[in-house]
């Protein structure tokens, strides 16, 4: 049909660009919204999407990427569950002449020619925003503030960076102390379980910082079950701003949410098209994001689609 997009790759036989996408899994509300965004925008852009769910396992992602290479897809995109261990498979894609786009999460590969671009949020910045809110809350106050932290998936870029950005920022106030920090794997179930152990082992908890809404929501169940009031007895800061998180924020159970947008689909499809037509996108494409207080959540909630 004469389109410049069907010049290479196996294509689908009808000139459509074929995109292989390896998703982390379905661990959170953020992830579900991200998957929908990618599927909807591939459809809208007329791109054939081969979608693989890795169920949180790196080995499944590697298998999926190898299968995309065998199928000679035009472009591969993926959201790496952890940062390390990708060099070999990325090299295989490169040798096969298939461009790779990192979506949402980064890899730690030294050789940046192994991928075309990295599209997603600045997780360090998110951690800093969370920390800054806390520093501002306790400005001018005295006495130790005891903080517990629910980390995301161990070794995942958002867990590493949200921890670092937060820790660096709260260092400005020596009263702010992280007394417990453990992974809750970005899920509601583990957020609840780990918070239960925190509550049992730590008599005084002033603040909970959870690396995503889902873990925060699980923790709220544990806090309520322990007879405490989330948002009042324990201040809660989370990241994402999915609908359930924003609802809890507007109800006063969460105190502050740092937004991380899952709606990466439209930008991803633009980059796929650009790459396929021989263009070279920016090496780093950042997502625009904001933060929400309880009052702001009330205003924003009716507009939240996810």
Strand partners, 180: 148
Task: Sheet containing 284-286: give its strands across.
Answer: 48-53, 18-23, 75-78, 100-103, 117-120, 284-286
x/- contact string, 148-177, with ligand GYE (CB under 6 A)? ----------x-------------------
Is residue 191 close enough to count as binding ligand GYE by CB under 6 A? no
Is residue 186 close enough to count as binding ligand GYE by CB under 6 A? yes
End-to-end CA distance of the chain: 37
Is residue 260 close enough to count as binding ligand GYE by CB under 6 A? yes
Q: Are 242 and 34 in contact, with CB atoms under 8 Å apart?
A: no
Q: Is 244 exposed, middle or buried (0-12, 13-18, 19+ CB in 10 A)?
A: middle
Strand partners, 210: 150
CB of 6: closest distance to ligand GYE in angstroms? 33
Q: Which is nearer to ligand GYE, 16 or 31 (CB)?
A: 31
Is residue 238 close enough to count as binding ligand GYE by CB under 6 A? no
Q: Binding segment for ligand GYE among 22-30, 37-45, 230-238, 291-299 (CB under 6 A)?
A: 22-30
Token readout for 231 is: 């948002």
Q: Closest Cα partner for 235 from 141, 162, 153, 133?
A: 133
Among residues 6, 18, 21, 27, the one that binds ligand GYE under rule CB under 6 A:
27
Q: Which is nearer to ligand GYE, 188 or 235 (CB)?
A: 188
Is residue 306 close enough to count as binding ligand GYE by CB under 6 A? no
**Region 32-91 residues binding ligand GYE, contact defined as CB under 6 A:** none
Q: Which is nearer to ligand GYE, 5 or 259 (CB)?
A: 259
Token readout for 10 is: 């196996």
Among residues 21, 30, 166, 306, the one that binds ligand GYE under rule CB under 6 A:
30
Give the count of beta carbons closer than 10 Å to the beta carbon of residue 286. 12
Is residue 256 close enough to count as binding ligand GYE by CB under 6 A? no
- 64: enclosing H helix or E strand: helix 58-70
Is residue 253 close enough to count as binding ligand GYE by CB under 6 A? no
Residues binding ligand GYE (CB under 6 A): 27-28, 30-31, 104-105, 158, 186, 212, 214, 239-240, 260
């Amino acid at each position: 049909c004469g389109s410049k997009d069907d010049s290479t790759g196996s294509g689908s036989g009808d000139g459509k660009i074929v995109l292989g996408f390896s998703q982390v899994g379905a661990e959170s509300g953020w992830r579900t919204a991200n998957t929908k965004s990618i599927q909807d925008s591939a459809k809208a852009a007329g791109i054939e999407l081969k979608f693989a769910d890795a169920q949180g396992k790196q080995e499944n992602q590697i298998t999926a990427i190898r299968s995309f290479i065998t199928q000679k897809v035009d472009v591969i995109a993926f959201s790496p569950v952890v940062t390390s261990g990708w060099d070999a498979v990325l090299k295989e894609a490169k040798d096969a002449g298939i461009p790779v786009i990192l979506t949402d999460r980064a890899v730690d590969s030294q050789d940046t020619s192994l991928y075309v671009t990295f599209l997603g949020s600045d997780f360090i910045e998110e951690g800093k925003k969370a920390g800054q809110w806390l520093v501002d809350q306790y400005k001018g106050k005295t006495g130790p503030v005891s903080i517990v932290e629910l980390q995301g998936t161990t070794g995942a870029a958002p867990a590493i960076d949200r921890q670092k950005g937060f820790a660096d920022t709260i260092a400005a106030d020596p009263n702010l102390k992280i007394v417990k920090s453990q992974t809750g794997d970005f899920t509601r179930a583990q957020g609840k379980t780990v918070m239960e152990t925190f509550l049992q082992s730590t008599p005084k908890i002033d603040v909970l910082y959870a690396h995503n809404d889902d873990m925060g929501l699980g923790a709220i169940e544990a806090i309520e079950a322990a007879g405490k009031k989330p948002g009042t007895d324990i201040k809660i800061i989370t990241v994402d701003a999915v609908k359930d998180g924003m609802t809890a924020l507007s109800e006063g159970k969460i105190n502050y949410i740092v937004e991380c947008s899952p709606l990466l689909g439209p930008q991803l499809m633009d980059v796929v098209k650009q790459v396929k037509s021989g263009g070279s996108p920016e090496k780093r494409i950042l997502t625009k994001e904001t933060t929400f207080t309880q009052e702001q959540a009330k205003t924003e909630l009716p507009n939240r689609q996810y």
